Chain A
Amino acid sequence: MTEDSVWRPSASPAALKSRAQQLAFVRGFFAEREVMEVETPVLAQHGVTDVNLDGVAADVSAAERKGGWLQTSPEYHMKRLLAAGSGSIYQISKVFRNGERGRRHNPEFSMLEWYRVGCDDAALMVEVADLVCDWLGCARPAQVSYRDAMLTWAEVDPFEFSDQDLRQRCEQWLEPAQIAELDRDGCLDLLMSFAVEPNLGQHTPEFVVGYPASQAALARVSVVDGHPVAHRFELYINGLELCNGYWELIDASEQRRRFEADNQLRQQSGKPGMALDEAFLSAVEAGLPDCAGVALGLDRLLMLKLGARDIAEVLAFPFERA
């Protein structure tokens, strides 16, 4: 990139046109299904507690409040709308994740998030497949459990292997001193990223389901074959992670407990704790309807549509040019 060309978009005119068509397609898809489009704040008072998600702090001073965070996802606000009786809703929004930049990441990206009242994870996966396959013209996704994917591609059993055995398996990528600092989920994430992901969805799109309960985030947990697993799913196409969905947790005290556990993990890894979003917790307490929700990366969906190798090919201005 030379000084002369820095003002230019990194996406081609054809990619920009395809982006516009994709937005129209998504809006048409939900209009037909009578799901209401909503807008919630991108700038809010709270960030998320997730240990692996770093928000972008904002320096706002307004309404007698200071600080603020650019949102990593519209989840909490959308759930407040659900608790207030909105019914099924969707949103196309910009979300922000600090430190994330690579072939598949930009610190600001476009997220499609939607919630279906009265649905569980299985029902929502059907709708995700409808949307993705209609747009991409791809085959209907197959389904693989997190455990089978790990067994096949990383040769580990995420539920049965000891921490010791998992760490040993990571030696292909990391030095012993680096591995010593990884917890169990850190080891699983490493294996997922390097051994498993590149192989997922290569022949046909693939849903991964049945994540370990420790990676449940905001999903419900059930016991399957004696192991607690999260009602969480992700869709992979050509090794690209496209979306993350949950049969949503509606138990307020469990939700609070998970936030507090997140903050403990943050403390252990030297990250500042995050104030809990009490407005969100109050909404869950007041009663979140039974629902399933999913967040889908629109920039990545467009990458698949166009066969792009780098997210910069589908963004008008990636962060270096923004």
Chain B
Amino acid sequence: MASYSTNEFRSGLKVLLDGDPCIMLENEFVKPGKGQAFNRVRLRNLMTNRVWDRTFKSGESLEAADVIDQDMEYLYTDGEFWHFMLTDGSFEQYPADAKAVGDTVKWLKEQDVYTVTLYNGAPLTVTPPNFVELEVVDTDPGMKGDTAQGGSKPATLSTGAVVNVPLFITIGEVLKVDTRSGDYVSRVKGN
């Protein structure tokens, strides 16, 4: 397996640290003019999501982690696994467990495309696109005249996600939602 030396460190690099795959978030090079150089690195452990700060002496190296991001279509769940398929025409399928799917479960819609991160060939995490379009399956009735401003109310989407929406939203409408914040963005026209 390849390894990366401190002068190759950069954010986004995937490395093994204490046996776990990690992604480099920040890399700061420090060096007193005549002295020893160090790299102060912030990493997120991809197994636990914990953020680590570590320091390396210039010239030290870290093993590369076999971690790749792949676009995959969500197919179905059998209750134990969520099944995804590569969109590259290979039809290759990957079962992701609940730990890999995590909070993304509330944004999973069949036939939509997600980023599946594979570690040693198995799904490690599933990341939704920044925006998804989902149908409202339950919400209080809309209030007349409330088209521009005013309060909000909870709405349950087809995937089970609950988001706060403007009062005029009704059951059956399709909404655009920001998955990073879980915020309502807009109604989707033309349905």
A interface residues (Cβ-Cβ under 8 A, vs B): 50, 52-53, 99-105, 173-174, 178, 181-182, 185-186, 188-190, 192-194, 197, 215, 217, 234, 241, 244
Contacts and interface: CB of A to CB of B under 8 A. Distances in A.
A50 B28 CA distance: 23
A182 B28 CA distance: 20
A234 B33 contact: yes
Contacts of A244: 33-34
Given A99-B37, A101-B7, A197 B57 contact: no
Contacts of B58: 99
A100 B29 contact: yes
A181 B57 contact: yes
B29 A189 contact: no
Nearest to A179: B57
A185 B35 CA distance: 8
Nearest to A107: B7
B183 interface: no
A102 B30 CA distance: 7
B56 interface: yes
Interface of B: 6-7, 27-38, 40, 55-58, 60
A103 B57 CA distance: 17
Contact of B40 (A50, A178, A194): A194
Contacts of B27: 102
Contacts of A190: 36, 38, 55
Nearest to B7: A99
21 contacts: A52-B34, A52-B37, A99-B7, A99-B37, A100-B29, A100-B37, A104-B30, A105-B31, A173-B38, A178-B55, A181-B57, A182-B57, A192-B32, A193-B31, A193-B38, A194-B38, A194-B40, A194-B55, A217-B34, A234-B33, A241-B32
Contacts of A197: 30, 32
Contacts of A186: 36, 57
Nearest to B56: A178
A189 B35 contact: yes
Contacts of A215: 34-35
Given A178-B60, A194-B55, A189 B36 contact: yes
Contacts of B36: 52, 182, 185-186, 189-190
A218 B73 CA distance: 64
Given A99-B58, A104-B30, A192-B32, 13 more contacts: A52-B34, A99-B6, A99-B7, A100-B29, A102-B27, A173-B38, A174-B57, A186-B36, A188-B35, A189-B32, A190-B38, A215-B35, A241-B33
A192 B35 CA distance: 9
Nearest to B55: A173
A182 B36 CA distance: 9
Contacts of A173: 38, 55
Contacts of A50: 34
Contacts of B40: 194
Nearest to A51: B36
Given A182-B57, A194-B55, A100 B31 contact: yes
A162 B40 CA distance: 26
A194 B34 contact: no
Contacts of B31: 52, 100, 102, 105, 193
A103 B32 contact: no
B124 to A, nearest CB: 25
A190 B31 CA distance: 9
A192 to B, nearest CB: 5
A217 B34 CA distance: 8
A208 B76 CA distance: 65
A49 B33 CA distance: 14
B34 to A, nearest CB: 5
Given A101-B7, A174-B55, A193 B29 contact: no
A280 B127 CA distance: 60
A197 B56 CA distance: 18
Given A189-B32, A192-B32, A178 B57 contact: yes
A313 B131 CA distance: 33
A190 B33 CA distance: 12
Contact of B28 (A103, A178, A181, A217): A103
Given A52-B37, A101-B7, A193 B57 contact: no
A235 to B, nearest CB: 11
Nearest to A181: B57
Nearest to A234: B33
Please provide the 9 A-B residue pairs with the shortest distance between their CB atoms, ordered closest to farther.
A102-B29, A189-B35, A189-B36, A173-B55, A193-B30, A99-B7, A186-B36, A244-B33, A192-B32
